[in-house]
Amino acid sequence: MQFSQEDFEKAKDQLKLLKDDPGNEVKLKLYALFKQATEGPCNIPKPGMLDFVNKAKWDAWNSLRTLPQDSARQKYIELVSSLVSAQASETPPGSKSDYETLLVTTKDNITKIVLNRPKLKNAISTKMYSEIVEALEDAAKDDSVITVITATPSLYIPPIQKPCCVLVYRNFVNHFIDFPKPLIAVVNGPAVGISVTLLGLFDIVYATDRATFHTPFTNLGLSPEGCSSYTFPKIMGLAKAAEMLLFNKKLTAAEACSQGLVTEVFPDNTFQKEVWTRLKAYASLPRNSLAVSKQLLRSMDKDKLHEVNSQECVCLQGRWMSDECLKAVMSFFQKKSKL
């Protein structure tokens, strides 16, 4: 199928209307295809090694040097069209439609919050941070008995993402610390970064046997987050926590369960049926009794967790601007641009 210059201009306009950030990997592809389509092969000097953003852009553009301009234009139009189609899909029945990055439903006394950026592996954008906070605030006040967080199709949050304002980040984690009802994580795939570190703030964590748990912070020049510098040693012991938080060890679901990070592991082929049958039974218990009991279990640690969250955010802010982190991010983008 051939596309005209008019189609190309229309794609440019459609891109501006996208509500959801397509993610750095897709934005690099769009940038490279646009430059190749409009200017041809890369014709600018290679940026310095520490200019990681422009270096990533240069690498992405330069990787297309043999692609004809007409082909680049066609690929650009097709990519924009796929993004528009994905975001135009209808919201499933029963869900609240005022979220762009989440699917939120309340049924059978359960509020379910589903991370819904599957094409971007559910990477948390600034918009998603704010929407998760809003969804938690709503769930705290609604008539549901328990709140469940999961993702579609799998719970996976890449560790490389644009740093958000430290105040936004701290507020995000604080909402998990303060959540008044039983909070349950349903991990249905590989989990990385904050999708792992937050698990210490959940009351129950159920996982499929194909899930993995990875916190590669030091490999990226970063430091622990989500109160994991406190919760992980408390849950699994200092030595096991150090393997994950200092030395980037990836745990299988069985290992995470044996170390206390995961409550129970289920076979993948029966995971959804078994977990949701159990959760519906939990949701039939007296709501106020569950809420009061949770507060008793969590109250002794709440002030400490807020203190830890604040300290971790200060450390993260410093790490985001460090040479080690900048080099790691640059290396990440270089690898992505070559794919």
DSSP structure string for 37-70: HHH-S--SPPPPTT-HHHHHHHHHHHTTTTS-HH
Evaluate whether residue 241 is within a structural domain.
yes
Tell whether 130 and 214 lie within a shared domain: yes
pLDDT mean across residues, the chain: 87
Evaluate whether residue 264 is within a structural domain.
yes
Residue after which a domain boundary falls, among 22, 54, 88: 88
Tell whether 213 and 140 lie within a shared domain: yes
Tell whether 49 and 152 lie within a shared domain: no
Residue predicted with more confidence, 74 or 89 = 74
Q: Give the neighbor-by-neighbor strand order of the sheet with 191-192.
A: 191-192, 212-214, 251-252
110-115 and 102-107 strand pairing: antiparallel
Evaluate whether residue 272 is within a structural domain.
yes
Alpha-carbon dihedral sign for residues 153, 157, 161, 164: positive
Q: pLDDT-derived band of residue 333, with 50, 70 and 90 as boundaries?
A: low
Q: How many H helices and E strands in the chain?
A: 13, 9
pLDDT of residue 164: 62
Which CATH number fits the domain that encloses residue 11? 1.20.80.10
Name the residue range of residue 46's domain. Answer: 5-88
Tell whether 106 and 54 lie within a shared domain: no
Q: pLDDT-derived band of residue 54, with 50, 70 and 90 as boundaries?
A: confident
- The number of distinct structural domains making up the chain is 2
Tell whether 67 and 109 lie within a shared domain: no
Tell whether 70 and 114 lie within a shared domain: no
Tell whether 150 and 261 lie within a shared domain: yes
Tell whether 81 and 189 lie within a shared domain: no
Rg (C-alpha) for the chain, rounded Å, is 22
Position 241 pLDDT exceeds 80: yes
Which CATH number fits the domain that encloses residue 112? 3.90.226.10
Tell whether 129 and 28 lie within a shared domain: no
Query: DSSP string covering 152-177, please?
Result: SS-----S--PPPPHHHHHHHHHHHH
Query: What's the rounded mean pLDDT across residues 198-206?
Result: 98
Evaluate whether residue 233 is within a structural domain.
yes
Ranges 110-119, 194-203, 301-310: which has the least confidence: 110-119
Closest by CA position to 90, among listed 123, 116, 109: 116
Tell whether 177 and 80 lie within a shared domain: no
**Is the distance from CB of 221 to CB of 319 less than 8 angstroms?**
yes
Ranges 45-54, 92-101, 214-223, 285-294: which has the least confidence: 92-101
Ranges 65-69, 151-155, 272-276, 286-290: which has the least confidence: 151-155
Tell whether 172 and 83 lie within a shared domain: no
Residue after which a domain boundary falls, among 37, 58, 88: 88
Backbone angles phi, psi at 270, to 5 degrees: -120, 5
Position 272 pLDDT exceeds 90: yes
Tell whether 254 and 127 lie within a shared domain: yes
pLDDT of residue 153: 66
Evaluate whether residue 144 is within a structural domain.
yes
Evaluate whether residue 62 is within a structural domain.
yes
Position 90 pLDDT exceeds 80: no
Highest mean pLDDT among 120-129, 161-170, 253-262, 328-337: 253-262
**Is the distance from CB of 210 to CB of 253 less than 8 angstroms?**
yes
pLDDT of residue 337: 53
pLDDT of residue 48: 79
Distance between CA 116 and CA 99 in Å, rounded? Answer: 10
Report pLDDT digits (tens) over 136-167.
999 999 999 999 999 986 554 544 455 567 88
Taking phi over 0 as left and psi of -120 to 50 as alpha, with beta for the rest, 56 belongs to alpha
Closest by CA position to 262, among listed 333, 212, 316, 332: 212
Residue after which a domain boundary falls, among 88, 122, 156: 88
**Is the distance from CB of 65 to CB of 46 less than 8 angstroms?**
no
191-192 and 212-214 strand pairing: parallel
Q: pLDDT-derived band of residue 175, with 50, 70 and 90 as boundaries?
A: very high
Evaluate whether residue 336 is within a structural domain.
no
Evaluate whether residue 94 is within a structural domain.
no
Backbone angles phi, psi at 113, to 5 degrees: -110, 115
Distance between CA 82 and CA 189 in Å, rounded? Answer: 24
Distance between CA 72 and CA 75 in Å, rounded? Answer: 5
